[in-house]
Amino acid sequence: GDGVGTYGYTNSGYSVYEEENERLTESLRTKVSAIKSLSIEIGTEVKNQNKMLSEMDNDFDSTGGLLGATMSRLRTLSRGSQTKLLCYMMLFAMFVFLVIYWIIKLR
């Protein structure tokens, strides 16, 4: 009979919906895993950037120490020849300019 035919029809309709559902679920799963890996990558990138920034801070701290040492060396030199002091000052100014230029270029 008729009932069996109807039952078969609804059964096949149900399986079509089920297949579609399965397909959507799969596509959703793929998208979710893509988003997950992307956020992991973003997290890693942020961590690396922060690490780089803190390293840069440390570099600047050591540069500060270096500047102090250079200045005291310049003071010692200033007891000697004025021309030498002028040359060192020029070199020092150029060094500072290059460092600043390099920092700006990095941003």
> Could you list the residue range(s) of the whole structural domain that residue 17 is in?
11-80
- Is position 99 within any domain? no
Q: What is the pLDDT of residues 39-76, one digit of tens each?
A: 888 888 888 888 888 887 777 766 667 777 777 777 77
Q: What is the pLDDT of residues 89-105, one digit of tens each?
A: 889 999 999 999 998 88
- Is position 33 within any domain? yes
pTM beyond 0.85, yes or no? no
Our count of domains for the chain comes to: 1
- One-character DSSP codes across 13-77: HHHHHHHHHHHHHHHHHHHHHHHHHHHHHHHHHHHHHHHHHHHHHHHHHHHHHHHHHHHHHHHHH
Choose the most confident range, by mean pLDDT, from 7-11, 14-18, 98-102: 98-102
- Is position 1 within any domain? no
- Is position 65 within any domain? yes
- Is position 56 within any domain? yes
- Is position 17 within any domain? yes
